[in-house]
Amino acid sequence: MLADPSRKQAFEALYKEHWYKLYCIACKQTGSPHDAEELVQALFEKIWKDREVLSVRHWGAYLAASLRNMIIDLQRQKAAQAKFLQRFEGTGIHEMPEERLDKQQLQTVIDNVLGELPEKTQTIFKLSRYEHKSVKEIAGRMQLTEKAVEYHITKSIKLLRHHLRHFVNFFFTIF
């Protein structure tokens, strides 16, 4: 961006100039004002966080491409979550009123468990399971060894298994 003293003003000007346009694009693409606001906010947070290393000539194109990629990531994440939760439909579990397995409750448990993990481990798990990235792709993207990526994925899965064991035990006692 610009030299240190004016970096904050440059960021504020960038935000004011592009926020609404980006919000409208995200809202149209996601169909959700809430998701659109979250995406645009996350984009500007990332820019602020990476301000020391960013060197961008055409901010409009950079912001549009970044937002497009974030929308694609969100759509992949939602599709993966839906596919994961869809596994429980038709099992008869949700039809038992006294032992109802609520999909939203399950997703909340998963989100809470993932929230206990370090940020790097969360990111690696989400890239692997929600965005279907390979270990090699994740390693390259996060500048880690493939073994380190495998370690983080294994750590996440172990913690999820531990916290979700009562759901799994319930599932197998029914059949």
Q: 82 pLDDT band (50/70/90 cuts)?
A: confident
Range of the domain at 98: 87-175
User: Could you tell me how many residues make up the chain?
Assistant: 175
Query: pTM of the entire structure?
Result: 0.50
Percentage above 90 pLDDT, the chain: 38
**CA–CA dist 156, 111 (Å, integer):** 12
In a domain, 106, yes or no: yes
- Least confident residue range of 24-38, 85-99, 103-117: 85-99
Domain count, the chain: 2
Is 86 strand, coil or helix?
helix
Pull the structure tokens for residue 132: 């279907």
Contact 111, 164 (CB under 8 A): no
Same domain, 60 and 98: no
Pull the structure tokens for residue 142: 């996060």
What pLDDT, in 10s, does the model give residues 118-170?
Answer: 999 989 998 988 888 899 999 999 999 999 999 999 998 888 888 777 665 54
Same domain, 102 and 175: yes
pLDDT reading at 23 higher than 90: yes
In a domain, 81, yes or no: no
Phi, psi of 3 (to 5 degrees): -60, 160
Same domain, 92 and 167: yes
> 149: domain CATH number?
1.10.10.10
